Amino acid sequence: MKKTYQGSCHCGAVRFEADIDLAQGTAKCNCSICLKSRAWMAFIPSSEFRLLSGAQSMGDYQFGRRVIHHMFCTRCGVRPFAHGADGQGNKFHAIRVNCLDGVEPKELLDAPLKYFDMLHDDFKSTPAEIRHL
């Protein structure tokens, strides 16, 4: 069931809300940035994301093909979300579920979890090893 969640960076300068159905699944991948930051995400259409405050406190990091904007708070360094577009041009936000405020741990534990082998640009396959993700 879709629910509106509030989220933030660590210092609270960046605040957002997002309509997410955690039962639709969450994801982790093994690309270089997700691996180093232990990203755990829920993907939603950009129309279901609202930045409430902190635009002036945000930095944008891109790498590789520069198709995803990895947003971070320039005060505390936390990356609460990323955004981009898929191959068909559909805009999405990748919400860091660990940045959702007040979410019950059971909600996260019950959410299906998928793994993507983006280290090898393979969105359809699970990496050979996932224990470290």
pTM: 0.88
Whether the pLDDT of residue 4 is over 90: the answer is: yes
Asked if 11 and 44 count as a contact pair (C-beta separation under 8 A), the reply is no
Whether the pLDDT of residue 127 is over 70: the answer is: no
The confidence band for 42, taking pLDDT boundaries of 50, 70 and 90, is very high
The confidence band for 53, taking pLDDT boundaries of 50, 70 and 90, is very high
The domain spans of the chain are 3-120
CATH number of the domain at 3-120, out of 3.40.50.300, 1.10.1060.10, 3.40.50.720, 2.170.150.70?
A: 2.170.150.70
Strand partners, 117: 122
Element (H, E) at 108: helix 105-110
Asked if 106 and 95 count as a contact pair (C-beta separation under 8 A), the reply is no
For residue 36, the model assigns a pLDDT of 86
pLDDT by residue (tens digit) across 55-81? 999 999 998 788 889 999 999 999 999
